[in-house]
Structure formats: C-alpha cells, structure tokens
Amino acid sequence: MQRHQASPNQQGNALLPGRPRGQWSLRPDVVLVNGAPERHAEGAYYLEWREGSKRVRLSVGKDAADAGARRQRKEAELNAVNSGAAIVPENGNDRSVAAAVADYLDETKLTKKPKTLAAYSTALSYFTESCHKLNIEDIDRKDLLKFHAFLRDDKEQAPRSCWNKFANVMSFLKANGIRGLVGKNDWPRFTEEEPEVYETKELDKLFAKCDAEERLWYEFFLMTGMREQEVMYTYWSDINLAASTVRVSHKPDRGWTPKAYKEREIPIPTKLVKSLKAWKAKANRDCNLLFPTGGCRPKLDFLDCLKAVAERAKLDADGFWLHKFRATFATKCLWAGVDLRTVQQWLGHSDMESTMRYLKPSRSQQTRDKVNEIFA
C-alpha cells in the first residue's frame, strides 16, 4: 500500500516528505516516487513520532483531512511536552494505541515463541491499520466490529484466520485492562473442520519410497504424535529404549520450551524402539540431538523432505504435511480404545476439547464389516 507519512521529529515539528520545512499543508493522495510526485488514491496516512528512545508509528486512515487533524493534535502535544508543559489526559490515564502495541510486542518477544510473536505482530498491525483511534482507552465495540469486517473484506482472510487475529487483539486489549467491549455474538465465526488423517494405503505408498533414514523420521512423527519442533528438539536423553518411552522436555541450552511449558511422556511401540536402537548404533555420540544436521543443529526441513518423498511415490504432495501425522496418531489411538484423558496427555493438549476433535468415525473395512453384520 502506498503511504503518505507525516513524521513529527523530536522537537515536535511535523515533516512531510517532499515538503519544505515549515509548510504543513497535506496534499491529498500525493506521494513521492523516486523523487517525483504521483497521485495514488489507494494510499494511506501514517503518523510517526518518538516516545523516549522508542519509535512509534500509527495508521490514521485514508482521509487527508482527518490525517491532517490528527497530525496537528499530535504535534501540539509534542510541542507542549518539549516546552516543559504537563499534558493532562482527558480521563487521566490515556495511552497511545501505538505505544501500547509496541510495549505488548516487546513483552511478547520476551515471554513467547517467535511464531507467537509473529502472529501477534501481524494481528496488531492489521488492527492499527483498521482502527484510527489515537488512544487505547478510546477503542470501542464498533472499532472491533470494523476490524472483523476489515480482515474479511480488505485482507480477504479465511474465517478461521479472522477468528485467530481477532482473538490476538482481544488478548492485547485484556492485557491493557480493557474488557467487555464485545459479546459472544460479535466474534468472527468459522466452521471447525474435521482433522484429516493419512489412510493406510497412503502411508504404505509413502514409506515404500523412503530410504531408511526418511522412514525413521516419519514413523517417529506417526508413532509419537509429536509436533514438528518437539521432534526437532528431541535428545537421545529423552529416549528410554528399555521402558519404550520418549519425553518432551525443556531444552534451556537451546532456548526451547514445549508448548504451554508442559513436559510429558509418550509410550512408543516395539517396532519404533527397534528402529531407534539401530539408529543409535550409527549416531554421532558427540551430538545430543536425535535427528541432527551438520554441526549438531536441529533439522529444519522435515516438511520439504516429506513432500519430496510424496512426489517420488507419485502421491499428491499438497495432501502431505507434518501435523497430519499427529492427527493420524490421535485418531488411531482413539479408534483403538485408548481413553480420551490418556490421549490428551500424550498429545500435550491443555483441554479435552482439543483432543475430542480427533473423535471421528472409523471408515475402515473392519467397521464396514461390523455394519454389514448388524444389518445382515
């Protein structure tokens, strides 16, 4: 998106790119491209300033008059501060949306995983693009309803993505003491899709085209139900070949923790134990990782390798992804009669509802035979 950007400097003077210092009139829809002015009606306006050492940026919409008014308000505030005047907010505790977002993301970076930080960063970037309130206390229900519409219509997000980003913004507001703006019916809605699992024939074809190393990788995913990063950071010390178990554990030396900081133990079948014993006999004893790459670093390309094997097996590579092994593990365990609470623990789910998604009808030939017997 093309941007017109008004940037108050540390003295409080708003500098509009391409305009001489001291001339503050905004030229609607005009932006400099390679030094030459061009008209772009699709552009948006941004305010940018500093609060201490922190650079703050805020989207102020597409309307030039509104953007200019907001710049003047912010410029007056900064000039007053630089002159030593105390700014008393209308309600005594106003905070800028941009500063609150920056603080929240700084805290998230310290306490959450990079993927979580990226998700919050995207959601809050979209929110500040759709909501043009300067102060966080001014945000109301209508701003959140507009945000949902913005995600759906402007960003063309899928229903589940709309819900996820809406939830991230609600977490941000809650962390800033703002609650109760929306009701249950105001949240985005989405249809919970049934988890896809690998059929036995698919797995047979896939494993037939794996070499010994590839087969061990994907049998390990399938027979443990572990998440990708959990497999990446599995140590030999997590494997108990005598007890036929594998642990998901914290790795402080690599700066990695399990999801929700929950460690757990998973039983593994004899077939996998036998394969791991053979793998251990050939493993580099100087590396603690189960599946290392050069320099004893975690393997990062399990998915790319999986799709390559699927193509070799002449299967649709788009239908193969790592989380599908986890769904297959959960579904097979439940079909075999393992109770929900136990499967929940093996998967590391925080709530039973997440595990119950895998309670799906069996479509196996044995199930069909039982139906035929019932109605014979």
Residue 117 shares a structural domain with residue 258: no
Residue 39 included in any domain: yes
| Contact (Cβ atoms closer than 8 angstroms) between residue 144 and residue 186 | yes
Per residue in 10-48, pLDDT (tens digit) is 333 333 443 333 444 566 667 777 777 777 766 667 777
Spatial distance between the Cα atoms of 272 and 126, rounded to a whole number of angstroms: 45
Q: Provide the residue type at 339 as one letter.
A: D
Per residue in 285-343, pLDDT (tens digit) is 999 999 999 999 999 999 999 999 999 999 999 999 999 999 999 999 998 889 999 99
Q: Would you state the pLDDT for residue 357?
A: 86
List CB contacts of 221: < 8 A, sequence separation 6 or more: 231, 302, 322, 325, 326
Residue 221 shares a structural domain with residue 348: yes
Per residue in 244-280, pLDDT (tens digit) is 999 999 999 998 988 867 899 999 999 999 999 999 9
Spatial distance between the Cα atoms of 18 and 34, rounded to a whole number of angstroms: 11
Of the residues 53, 82, 111, the one at which a domain ends: 82
Locate 288 and state its tokens.
């603690």
**DSSP conformational letter for 44:** E
Spatial distance between the Cα atoms of 170 and 179, rounded to a whole number of angstroms: 8
List Cα–Cα distances, 118 to 176, 228, 260, 300, 357, in angstroms. 19, 18, 17, 18, 26
Residue 226 shares a structural domain with residue 267: yes
**Domain ranges, residue 153:** 97-186
Locate 74 and state its tokens.
């912010």
Per residue in 167-214, pLDDT (tens digit) is 999 999 999 999 999 999 999 998 877 789 999 999 999 999 999 999
pTM of the model: 0.63
Locate 225 and state its tokens.
């139900």
Residue 222 shares a structural domain with residue 144: no
Other C-beta atoms within 10 Å of 116: how many? 14
Residue 159 shares a structural domain with residue 210: no
Strands (DSSP E) contained in 117-160 are none
| Contact (Cβ atoms closer than 8 angstroms) between residue 82 and residue 104 | no
Residue 22 included in any domain: yes
Direct distance between the N- and C-terminal alpha carbons of the chain, in angstroms, rounded to an integer: 65
